[in-house]
Copies of this chain bind each other. A is one copy, B any other.
Amino acid sequence: MIERRRVTDWWSTAVTEIHPGVIRLRGYPVEQLVGRITFAEQIWLMLRGELPTPVQGRLLEAALVAAVDHGPQAPSIAAARMAATCGVGLNSAVATGAGLLGDVHGGAGQQCMEVLARVVGGEDAGAVVADFRARRAYVPGFGHRFHPRDPRRDPLLALVGEAVERGEVPGHALAAGLAVEAALAEGRARPVPMNIDGATAIIYAELGFPPELGRGLFVLSRSVGILAHAWEETSSGSRIKGPIPRPLLAGYHGPPERDLPADR
């Protein structure tokens, strides 16, 4: 008996309870959830343990909608498209793309939430910016190497702004984000406006998500684009698609041709 307990405890969870004929998600019977909550609300419930308020659900939904895709230039999307041509299922293609959303390619939102937490916690936005500049590092969540102004910034901030005005979310993260943006613009001809990572970081922070889940939510959102792109390749029937079309050939800058030493 003690062994059974040890093993079932090892895999114990607070997420889902199953018994024959019964599936409860965070305590709610699944049959009550179907048709009554949105997918975004389900995401909230599964990650947070409680249902969101309608306002919380809508803000989460907006952030998830905004970040689904940025085209095949992104390595996560390109890799998933190539995977889809290699004879693996769409599940593997999605896994390939999601796997590439690491600290550098998918972590800016999480890192921005950590920056916002510093400012909300009392640090001066200008000092935080100076700190990054001293390390010659970008402030995560601000600036974009492609867009002078990320078109996803304004509609997301407008939604948070309205929620703050109505007292529906505290507003501290929004204030912190705008303070960092202002500090970054100071004394510069060209401002460094918030990007999608910064704008969603504000929403996730206002909603009380921890920074790690900022990455997690981005992965859920971007998986939609990954799937759409992988499916585009699958349905086109392409096979073993490399990064560049023939007859282009990858360059080579290694040692010139040489013979294996005779003593091998």
B-facing mask of A56-94, CB < 8 A → 1, else 0? Answer: 001001101110111111111011001101111111101
A51: chain B residues at CB < 8 Å are 260-261, 264
Q: Considering residues A7, A152, A155, which has the most beta carbons from chain B within 10 angstroms of its beta carbon?
A: A7
A165: interface (CB < 8 Å): no
Residue contact A152 to B34, C-beta cutoff 8 Å: yes
* A20-28, A112-120, A126-134, A181-189 - the one binding chain B: A20-28
Residue contact B72 to A88, C-beta cutoff 8 Å: no
Residue contact B102 to A89, C-beta cutoff 8 Å: yes
Docked complex Cα distance between A30 and B95 (Å): 25
Residue contact A11 to B147, C-beta cutoff 8 Å: no
Given A75-B241, A98-B94, A224-B42: A232 and B83 interface contact (C-beta under 8 Å): no
Residue contact A73 to B220, C-beta cutoff 8 Å: no
> Least Cβ distance of A198 to chain B in Å?
14
Residue contact B71 to A75, C-beta cutoff 8 Å: no
Residue contact A68 to B95, C-beta cutoff 8 Å: no
Q: Which residues of chain A have a CB within 8 Å of any CB of chain B?
A: 1, 3-4, 6-40, 42-43, 46-47, 49, 51, 58, 61-62, 64-66, 68-76, 78-79, 82-83, 85-92, 94-96, 98-107, 146-149, 151-152, 154-156, 158-159, 210, 212-213, 215-216, 219-221, 223-225, 227-232, 234-235, 239-245, 248-261, 264
